[in-house]
Structure 1
Amino acid sequence: MTALQPSVLVVEDEPAQREVLIYNLEAEGFRVISAEDGNEALVLVEEERPDLILLDWMLPGTSGIEICRQIKMRPSLRAIPIIMISARSEEVDKVRGLETGADDYVAKPYSILELIARAKSQLRRTRPAAVGERLTFDDILLDAETHKVFRGAQELKLGPTEFRLLTTFMEKPGRVWSREQLLDRVWGRDIYVDTRTVDVHIGRLRKALSRHGGEDPIRTVRGAGYALG
């Protein structure tokens, strides 16, 4: 199950460039969604909530700069990092792209290795575990690369679902996650699982975290869901 695999939306109208991006991103372990124009991109952003958007400036119909502006205007979407890709390499164009809300700007022709490095840099800020970073919260350490979890000096044994749940919580401590949001993030949108299953796995995670002592760090928020801390 790869629900925690980072997802990237590639918005590029030129088929050859789009395929090169998809191929190289998938080789790096990303789940790739693609769109050929801005309107399709807006629909996919709402439906898929990708972790990152690679957005071409010159698109048929609505321009990439306008798509960027619309995404950043929506409170539910504005946290998604956008890397603007453009044949416009003048400094004034770069400034305009960044002022519209793009998080980074890459001029064509670009190095695919540099673009992937920039994509990972953005994810390090928003989805650190997805790029193998270590996460810490109080005395809990999660090593995403080795798939190990420690509380204090004790290594904890977690099942794969509990590991993904803890990763989700530790990437955004304090955030309240509804059961539906946890299902989407941990199990994946295409898998039907009853929301009560979330409660069962939260119970298992709590038990594992407190096995060697220490307070339960997971908070139940009545009528809303769960949060770490």
Structure 2
Amino acid sequence: MGENYKDNSIKEKVDQEKKVKQELKEERTNQDKNLSKEEQFINMLEQISPRELLEDVSQGNRASTQDLNLIRNIMTEQKLSPGVMNVLIHYVLLKTNMSLSKPFLEKIASHWKRKNVESVRQAMNLAKEEHQKYMEWTKGIKHKEGNDKVTFEEKYIYSLYNRYGMKEEVSREVIEFSREINQGFMIYWFMNRVAEFLNYHNAQSRNAAQSLLRTFYQKYIDPFGRS
């Protein structure tokens, strides 16, 4: 009889916990119903991670490692909270045709850091206030490659920055290496392979790039000779 009493007591306790959880869930649901759509959106951005946001807007597809690294680096460098970063991600995706433009993200993040943006609401309000300014920034980014005064070399450097966040001094080493190996020519498929190699090994300076390029030459070019 003692055992039955103990079992019943445990069951009642579990049932009570379930009831409390259900009541809390219903209470939160009712609270959400009383919130405006903007307030509900703010709550969502405060509660989910940047990874979850990316996967949500891409209909459940896994966020790429490249995008996650980009977001992590910006959050670390600019000291943005996950909620503020979510606002930035959402804003940039909407304004750049669902593309995470690294220069655009970095420029706005830097601006928000200077403005001491610490909350989701602050970030949303500032994005609304500075919308015209931000649109001018993205126009400059979008049209940089289309400017006739920009050389092919500068276009390629910009493309590597947009793709990998590669520093200009590293990108120039890629170009010079191609010219050295390919009789003075910029061979794009070759440069892309070299750039991928440097990015994989996280080349962050001219010296690091030159050292890695010597390795690349010894591993992939020297064994086969130069044409």
User: Under a length normalisation based on structure 1, what TM-score does the superposition of the two structures give?
Assistant: 0.29
Choose between structure 1 and 2 for higher RCO, CA contacts under 8 A separated by at least 6 residues: 1
Larger radius of gyration: 2
**Which structure shows the bigger proportion of residues in strand conformation?**
1
